[in-house]
Amino acid sequence: MSRALTVADERWPIAGAFTIARGSKTEAHVVVAQIAEAGHVGRGEAVPYARYGESVASVLAEFESVRGAMEGGADRDALQRLLPAGAARNALDCALWDLEAKRSGRRVFELAGRARLDPVKTCYTLSLAPPEQMADAARAAARRPMLKLKIGGPDDLDRVEAVRGAAPLSRLVVDANEALSFDELKRLAPEFARLDVKLIEQPLKAGEDAALEGYESPVLLCADESLHTRAELADCARRYGCVNIKLDKTGGLTEALALADEARSLGLEIMAGCMVGTSLAMAPALLIAQGAAFVDLDGPLLLARDREPGLTFVGSMIEPPPPELWG
């Protein structure tokens, strides 16, 4: 049966701006792959990330490099060998999962061996800003059960104190995006523990985090930029107690599921994370979010508008995706 691969890039405006230690953006520039076969269409969305040497142009070129194989019937196993982990493989892998679900009349969670897909509660992200602005944002979101703060500057402790004062009942996650030195981490971690921060995400630069081996942090540490696939997991297990699994890093749901299983076998906690994208990018990650200690799939909540149909958010609770969206 013949297949057709269609690819596109789309721009989705962010509500305001999204700011982290590395910079700020006002739109999510995503890529979408569609694979049509036998009257069914599978879709996948991914976000090229400059931090990992990707651009929209480079991801579109990767799609073209495997067009013949994909239209010739390559399956998910073959795809793992055709492309490296990253945004292009993610979009194609998720499209193949979706296509298989549509063709079989079964949901992706069933194909993945799960009995059901439950709703999950997501973090809500506060962009990096001066402490008083972050306090205002936290106050507006104070009814959400978990807030994730972006940090990365000399006022970091003031930021966390301001947010804690404005949202006293919310669980807090702090995300440094590689912006701290080891000395800064050792100074801040006890203060963050005092403020009841539950997790510090990627405090040190990837490649420079061997310093964490033997360090007993008073707050659980989570690898993000340091972990892409199972290849980095052994090193991360010596340095962190939690790993952030993002489909754009793993190169799709296939590797992400295997990574989550192996991480749990090593005693690591799981965070299901995302780049800023639409509901189409979040839907596959809901499988990783099942049973995860932390869920950060708030991408659509940060957009000025989402695709339709999209995921249903009830406060911070995300309902399973309708099959018209994905899976």
**Residues annotated as catalytic (active site), given as ranges:** 150, 246
Residue 150 contacts residue 138 (beta carbons within 8 Å)? no
Cα–Cα dist 127/162, whole Å = 14
**In Å, how far are 134, 157, 288 from 137, measured between CA atoms?**
5, 16, 28
Reading phi first (left if > 0) and then psi (alpha if -120 to 50, else beta), residue 16 is in: left
Query: Which tokens belong to 219?
Result: 């707050």
Residue 73 contacts residue 272 (beta carbons within 8 Å)? no
Q: Computed over its alpha carbons, how large is the radius of gyration of the chain?
A: 19
3-class secondary structure for 100-134?
HHHHHCCCHHHHCCCCCCCCEECCEEECCCCHHHH
Q: How many residues are listed for the chain in this entry?
A: 327
Q: What's the number of CA atoms in the CB half-sphere (13 Å) around residue 75?
A: 2
Q: Which residues contact 22 (CB under 8 A, 6 or more apart)?
A: 51, 177, 178
Query: Which tokens belong to 261?
Result: 């299983």
Q: Distance from first CA to last CA of the chain, Å, rounded?
A: 21
Q: Which residues of 267-292 are buried (b: 16+ CB within 10 A; e: fewer)?
A: ebbbbbbbbbbbbbbbbbbbbbbbeb
